[in-house]
Amino acid sequence: MNGDLLHIQDLSVRFFTYQGVVRALEGVHLAVRRGEILGLVGETGCGKSVLARSILRLIADPPGRIMGGRILFKGRDMLTLPMKEMRRIRGNDISMIFQEPMTSLNPVFTVGNQMEEVVRLHQKVSRKAARRICVEMLEQVRMPDPESVLRKYPHELSGGMRQRVMIAMELSCRPDLLIADEPTTALDVTVQAQVLHILNELTRARGTSVLFITHDLGVVAHLCDRVAVMYAGKIVETAPVDALFRSPGHPYTRGLLAAVPSVDEDREVLASIPGVVPGLIDPPAGCRFHPRCPAARKECEHLEPAGVEVGKDHWVFCHAGRGKVKGER
């Protein structure tokens, strides 16, 4: 589709470990459209971070390997690009923010030092001009007193400030796509609110597409336009955010929504999903959710469910899903 900035097709990633082959991603399809914030939700170990890293080809090989599929960015397959090209895309066209900003910043250099380096690596400007760009960027992320922040070392900043420095740095190169991997998970709620606000404002104003990875459904509802739900290395549902919360199609999505305690209503008992997330060395056959699924039927045990369009732009990968099967249109 023309509106797609990034199109992931049939992506499979495996990790070869002593314990066995981990099937981290199997046949994943996902598109990120221009200007949208797409939420990618799922629980620990479902493969959402692997997916994010695969896009930038940051999977360490060995042990990991991209087994197949295509990652089309502006129509070009990133998996076949030479490394030199890839390096140009990283930072310039696609940037990434990680969960723990302290590990992304070098502790022995000042913030200014690191930000300038990034700016000058991607834009041909003088040191002085780079400094000015840094100050402007920090102002845009509402950093009080940017001049003094530039002189500080990462450990002198709070978690929220460090994450704002990262956002400023990543957006300074005006990427088309920002991948944010749980950027607010390590932050307190009041600080998270600040960071989400800044991220939303800046990316909307510039039309930057965002792939926002999180396990927090509240953050998804607040920030995203569309959502993809992952379970055990597969996408199980994609939908516009309103549709997902109003009429979740996949039993896993329904379970996830029911399991979240609410700040504004009292529930006596939380619905919980029985059992645990399966290991990906030997994932269940058929639908990977079937051992925990309250609606599992015979075919779920051996047949992988195809995508079914249950509403406008709303796809569910479940045998019980009602609607048009993918490709029927």
Q: Which residue has the tokens 């792939």?
A: 211
Q: How far is the CB of 215 from other proteins (least distance, A)?
A: 7
Asked whether the beta carbons of 32 and 211 are under 8 A apart, the reply is yes
CA dihedral over 77, 83, 88, 94, signed as positive or negative:
positive
Binding mask 44-73 toward other proteins (x if CB under 8 A, else -) reads: x-----------------------------
Q: Which of 28, 133, 135, 241 binds other proteins (CB under 8 A)?
A: 241
Listed ranges 93-101, 105-113, 171-179, 271-279: which one lies at the site for other proteins (CB under 8 A): 271-279
242 near other proteins (CB under 8 A): yes
Q: How far is the CB of 90 from other proteins (least distance, A)?
A: 30
Q: In what order do the strands lie in the sheet with 4-17?
A: 20-33, 4-17, 64-73, 76-77
Cα 25 versus chain centre, distance:
14
161 near other proteins (CB under 8 A): yes
For 123, the 3-state DSSP assignment is coil
Q: In what order do the strands lie in the sheet with 94-97?
A: 94-97, 177-181, 209-214, 37-41, 226-231, 234-240, 314-317, 307-311, 324-325
325 near other proteins (CB under 8 A): no
Q: Which of 147, 158, 207, 285 binds other proteins (CB under 8 A)?
A: 158
Q: Which helix (H) or strand (E) holds 76?
A: strand 76-77
194 near other proteins (CB under 8 A): yes
Beta bridge partners of 286: none
Binding mask 20-49 toward other proteins (x if CB under 8 A, else -) reads: -----------------------xx-----
Which residues contact other proteins (rule: CB under 8 A)?
A: 43-44, 144, 158, 160-161, 188-194, 196-197, 215-223, 241-242, 245-246, 255-257, 259-264, 266-267, 269-273, 276-277
